[in-house]
């Protein structure tokens, strides 16, 4: 009993542990902010009042980050019984975890220094992107900085702080025997803090100055890192080369508008609002758009593959409109979905599909056809919550059918990614039969999953064992497509249906250049033997052109905000392919690839006739192709940020 009283005298709460960590964390954050402010003197107004203001705002973000990060620790400290709290095991655990947190805070400060040195901003989507390309980024860091020495130095500093500052206070806190009701009262107060910050603190709080560098200095790096997961975009004007808005707007319109377009009060900057009139009269054909996971052009025998992986697609290519110079806009499924659905180039950051709260209400292929009376569905073999697909498609004109809508007794095979492709196609056949019975044309956008790790599929379908690698997954997907087409031929709606088969992206994206062109080359087939004569189309184009091409085949007249054009009516001067990843934005035309990169960098890759790279060079001033490139991406970012592509287009948004 006397021992218990002694422990109460040493300290009055377990939560003093968090108070110590808060002081250390805010100390690191403040020193980081001060150091970045000092090295940024040429970029900011280095006055005492400005520094005081950004420090005060920064402290708010520092406290907000700590409040969110401390939630699991508050719960642990609150609910662990006194006997367990003072046990030898918990003592060791708390000391180890506390030291690791101390080291992690120092590591974050070090990372912020180098990130600022390269980009002059706090952590943003680029930092999130570094997690996606971790191997490439790690190699770059090892080659660029004395990483081992820095980490050892940080270890020594962390050890010193732990021994002199942290360990004594941990020992005091670990001696506390604190009543449960007192712990819960304190925990409730501490847990109210992140709730308050969630509702009251946003990105606008740090925008106290016209100088963006000051706004960045007022931020907290770790807070901005996690905010980037929600914001999911980069500001184009901040990071990329630009043209004056009037010049970029006029150049964009010159590249997008056609003589037959009926402009809809489109003299507003960047407005692409127009009416597409097809005088021949609408052909209300059904459309089944099959988007195949990771189907690089190199897998098709039509493109020279000799492994026999795609016998069905190769056969269909001879009976279809076959596009042999067609390119994906990005390297992720959501980029392909975005480009095909919205007909918009890849804006910097993540795909629009994943930008929570701003991913709906846009011009889309689904919205256009729904207006035309089509039964529009997005049918996916996986869980639609993944990559925000449910919200995106349901908010842009589609009814969503995913794995959860497929009865278990109708599933032949499934893995971590969802049901097998044949299950997806069987579901599609059922939905098509229902739509046909109702008498309305249908537009179904399918997304396959089987060509994805672990590359597993039903046994006995092909001559490659399930789970043995991507070649087997490609061949199985090809088999499933072939089986689907054969079953569709027996349906009464077959002769009135257009089948579009396209990849979402290639199987790999790494290469010697920032945007390796061959890693964006994908197949596109449009198969409708009763409606369309087969031929090979040599026009250079990309995924943003698919929606206008489908609508042209249907002879639909519609209001448009598409960046793409009908491939079948393109002139030679119109040909180009827009490709990109999270950081680099490219336009390929006339065997030249113009690339826009972070820090307003520009470069040109010259290709030979067979796409072999002959020259890569940086440029200081934009040439005509690079200006065209800038116009597309600067315009796309402006249009998205200002919500100019909302649907329907009728109304006042484009009024003079």
Q: Do 356 and 478 fall into the same domain?
A: yes
Q: Among 215, 231, 247, where does a domain finish?
A: 231
Structure confidence at residue 116 as a pLDDT band (50, 70, 90)? confident
| CATH code, domain with 409 | 3.40.720.10
Task: Provide the token pair at 37.
Answer: 């402010």
For residue 175, give the DSSP letter.
T
Structure confidence at residue 37 as a pLDDT band (50, 70, 90)? very high
Structure confidence at residue 160 as a pLDDT band (50, 70, 90)? very high
Residue 436, classed as helix, strand or coil, is: helix
Q: What is the largest CA-CA distance in the chain?
A: 97
Question: What pLDDT score was predicted for residue 4?
Answer: 40
Q: Which residue has the higher pLDDT, 290 or 510?
A: 290
Task: Decide if 591 is inside a domain.
Answer: no
Q: Which residues contact 116 (CB under 8 A, 6 or more apart)?
A: 36, 39, 122
Question: What pLDDT score was predicted for residue 488?
Answer: 98
Burial of 635 (0-12, 13-18, 19+ CB in 10 A): buried
230 pLDDT more than 80: no
Task: Decide if 108 is inside a domain.
Answer: yes
Crossing angle of helices 333-342 and 546-553, in 10° steps, is 40
| Residue (of 453, 452, 339) closest to 392 by Cα position | 339
Question: What pLDDT score was predicted for residue 9?
Answer: 42
**Lowest-pLDDT range of 56-70, 360-374, 489-503, 580-594:** 580-594
| Residue (of 201, 249, 5, 224) closest to 116 by Cα position | 224
pLDDT in tens, 292-307: 999 999 999 999 999 9
Question: What pLDDT score was predicted for residue 8?
Answer: 39
Tokens 């997005």, located at residue: 378
Q: Do 409 and 521 fall into the same domain?
A: yes
pLDDT in tens, 565-605: 999 999 999 999 999 987 789 999 999 999 998 889 999 99
Task: Provide the token pair at 42.
Answer: 């040429």
| Residue (of 413, 3, 400) closest to 175 by Cα position | 3
Q: Do 18 and 104 fall into the same domain?
A: yes
Tokens 């996916």, located at residue: 380
Residue 603, classed as helix, strand or coil, is: strand
**Lowest-pLDDT range of 32-41, 87-96, 135-144, 331-340:** 135-144
User: Distance between CA 434 and CA 379 in Å, rounded?
Assistant: 14
The DSSP line for 299-357 is GSGGGT--S---HHHHHHHTTSEEESSEE-S-SSHHHHHHHHHH-----SBS-GGG-TT
Question: What pLDDT score was predicted for residue 576?
Answer: 98
Structure confidence at residue 280 as a pLDDT band (50, 70, 90)? confident
Task: Provide the token pair at 260.
Answer: 């037959």
Structure confidence at residue 5 as a pLDDT band (50, 70, 90)? very low
How many distinct structural domains can be found in the chain?
A: 2
Q: Do 82 and 226 fall into the same domain?
A: yes
Task: Decide if 599 is inside a domain.
Answer: no
Question: What pLDDT score was predicted for residue 3?
Answer: 43
133 pLDDT more than 80: no
Question: What pLDDT score was predicted for residue 149?
Answer: 92
Task: Decide if 76 is inside a domain.
Answer: yes
Q: Among 523, 549, 572, where does a domain finish?
A: 572
Task: Check: CB of residue 647 under 8 Å from CB of residue 363.
Answer: yes
Structure confidence at residue 430 as a pLDDT band (50, 70, 90)? very high
Q: What is the mean pLDDT of residues 158-164?
A: 96
Task: Check: CB of residue 251 under 8 Å from CB of residue 272.
Answer: no
C-alpha distances in angstroms, 87 versus 6, 19, 21, 91, 270? 17, 22, 21, 6, 66
User: Distance between CA 99 and CA 614 in Å, rounded?
Assistant: 52
Q: What is the mean pLDDT of residues 403-419?
A: 92
Average pLDDT value over all residues in the chain: 90
Q: Do 222 and 294 fall into the same domain?
A: no
User: Distance between CA 302 and CA 518 in Å, rounded?
Assistant: 15
Residue 529, classed as helix, strand or coil, is: coil
Q: Do 213 and 297 fall into the same domain?
A: no
**Lowest-pLDDT range of 120-124, 456-460, 516-520, 590-594:** 120-124
User: Distance between CA 507 and CA 452 in Å, rounded?
Assistant: 9
Q: What is the mean pLDDT of residues 374-394?
A: 93
Question: What pLDDT score was predicted for residue 138?
Answer: 66
> Rounded to 5 degrees, what angle do the CA atoms 102, 41, 36 make?
10
- β-pairing verdict for 585-589 and 326-327: unpaired
pLDDT cut 90: percent of the chain above it: 72
Q: Do 225 and 354 fall into the same domain?
A: no
Question: What pLDDT score was predicted for residue 132?
Answer: 54
Q: What is the mean pLDDT of residues 48-68?
A: 95
Q: Do 444 and 552 fall into the same domain?
A: yes
Beta bridge partners of 500: 289, 526
Residue 149: Cβ within 10 Å count: 9
Question: What pLDDT score was predicted for residue 6?
Answer: 37
- β-pairing verdict for 399-401 and 497-503: unpaired
Task: Decide if 619 is inside a domain.
Answer: no
350 pLDDT more than 90: no
Q: Among 231, 265, 300, where does a domain finish?
A: 231
Task: Decide if 297 is inside a domain.
Answer: yes
Structure confidence at residue 357 as a pLDDT band (50, 70, 90)? confident
Question: What pLDDT score was predicted for residue 139?
Answer: 61
* Distance separating the N- and C-terminal Cα atoms of the chain: 83
Q: Do 410 and 480 fall into the same domain?
A: yes
Q: What is the mean pLDDT of residues 611-632?
A: 90
Q: Do 372 and 472 fall into the same domain?
A: yes
Its pTM stands at 0.76
User: Distance between CA 278 and CA 553 in Å, rounded?
Assistant: 10
554 pLDDT more than 90: yes
**Residue 593: how many CA atoms within 13 Å on its side-chain side?**
27
Cis, bond preceding 296 (omega within 30 deg of 0):
no
Q: What is the mean pLDDT of residues 38-67?
A: 92
Question: What pLDDT score was predicted for residue 22?
Answer: 96
Task: Decide if 276 is inside a domain.
Answer: no
Structural domain including 325 reads 289-572
1 pLDDT more than 50: no
Query: Hey, which of 168-182, 310-324, 593-607 has the most confident mean pLDDT?
Result: 310-324
Residue 120, classed as helix, strand or coil, is: coil
Residue positions counted in the chain: 656
161 pLDDT more than 90: yes
Q: Do 433 and 548 fall into the same domain?
A: yes
pLDDT in tens, 479-499: 999 999 999 999 999 999 999
Q: Do 397 and 487 fall into the same domain?
A: yes
619 pLDDT more than 90: yes
Task: Decide if 273 is inside a domain.
Answer: no
Residue 273, classed as helix, strand or coil, is: coil
Structure confidence at residue 656 as a pLDDT band (50, 70, 90)? very low
């Amino acid at each position: 009993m006397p021992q218990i009283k002694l422990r109460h005298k040493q300290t009055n709460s377990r939560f003093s542990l968090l108070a110590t960590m808060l002081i250390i964390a805010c100390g690191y954050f403040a020193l980081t902010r001060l150091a970045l402010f000092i090295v940024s003197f040429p970029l900011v107004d280095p006055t005492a009042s400005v520094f005081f203001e950004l420090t005060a705002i920064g402290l708010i973000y520092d406290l907000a980050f700590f409040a969110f990060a401390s939630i699991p620790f508050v719960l642990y400290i609150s609910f662990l019984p006194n006997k367990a709290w003072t046990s030898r095991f918990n003592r060791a655990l708390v000391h180890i975890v506390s030291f690791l947190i101390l080291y992690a805070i120092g590591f974050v400060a070090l990372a912020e220094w180098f990130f600022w040195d390269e980009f002059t901003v706090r952590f943003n989507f680029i930092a999130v992107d570094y997690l996606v390309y971790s191997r490439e980024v790690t190699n770059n860091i090892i080659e660029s900085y004395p990483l081992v020495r820095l980490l050892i130095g940080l270890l020594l500093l962390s050890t010193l702080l732990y021994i002199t500052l942290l360990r004594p206070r941990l020992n005091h806190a670990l001696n506390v025997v604190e009543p449960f009701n007192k712990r819960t009262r304190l925990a409730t107060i501490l847990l109210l803090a992140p709730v308050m910050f969630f509702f009251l603190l946003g990105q606008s709080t740090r925008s106290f100055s016209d100088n963006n560098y000051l706004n960045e200095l007022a931020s907290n790096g770790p807070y901005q890192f996690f905010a980037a997961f929600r914001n999911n975009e980069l500001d184009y004007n901040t990071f990329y080369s630009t043209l004056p808005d009037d010049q970029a707007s006029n150049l964009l319109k010159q590249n997008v508008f056609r003589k037959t377009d009926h402009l809809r009060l489109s003299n507003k900057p960047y407005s692409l609002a127009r009416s597409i009139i097809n005088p021949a009269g609408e052909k209300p054909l059904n459309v089944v758009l099959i988007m195949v996971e990771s189907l690089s052009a190199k897998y098709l025998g039509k493109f020279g593959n000799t492994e026999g992986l795609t016998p069905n697609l190769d056969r269909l290519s001879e009976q279809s409109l076959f596009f042999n110079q067609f390119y994906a806009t990005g390297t992720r499924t959501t980029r392909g979905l975005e480009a095909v659905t919205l007909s918009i180039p890849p804006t910097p950051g993540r795909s629009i599909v994943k930008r929570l709260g701003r991913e709906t209400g846009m011009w889309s292929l689904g919205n256009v056809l729904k207006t035309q009376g089509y039964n529009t569905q997005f049918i996916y073999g996986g869980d639609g919550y993944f990559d925000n697909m449910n919200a995106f498609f349901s908010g842009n004109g589609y009814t969503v059918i995913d794995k959860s809508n497929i009865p278990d007794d109708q599933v032949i095979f499934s893995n971590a990614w969802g049901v097998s492709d044949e299950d997806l196609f069987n579901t599609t056949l059922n939905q098509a039969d229902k739509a046909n019975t109702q008498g309305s044309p249908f537009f179904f956008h399918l997304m396959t999953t089987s060509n994805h790790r672990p590359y597993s599929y039903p046994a006995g379908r092909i001559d490659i064992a399930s789970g043995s690698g991507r070649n087997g997954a490609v061949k199985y997907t090809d088999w499933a497509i072939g089986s689907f087409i054969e079953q569709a031929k027996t349906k009464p709606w077959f002769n009135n249906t257009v089948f579009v088969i396209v990849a979402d992206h290639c199987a790999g994206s790494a290469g010697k250049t920032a945007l390796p062109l061959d890693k964006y080359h994908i197949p596109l087939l449009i198969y409708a033997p009763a409606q369309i004569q087969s031929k090979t189309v040599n026009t250079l184009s990309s995924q943003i052109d698919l929606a206008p091409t489908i609508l042209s085949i249907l002879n639909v007249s519609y209001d448009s905000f598409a960046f793409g054009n009908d491939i079948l009516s393109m002139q030679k001067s119109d040909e180009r392919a827009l490709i990109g990843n999270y950081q680099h934005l490219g336009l390929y035309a006339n065997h030249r690839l113009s690339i826009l990169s972070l820090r307003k960098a520009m470069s040109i890759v010259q290709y030979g006739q067979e796409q072999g790279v002959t020259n890569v060079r940086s440029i200081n001033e934009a040439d005509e192709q690079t200006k065209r490139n800038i116009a597309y991406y600067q315009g796309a970012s402006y249009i998205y940020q200002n919500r100019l592509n909302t649907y329907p287009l009728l109304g006042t948004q484009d009024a003079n």
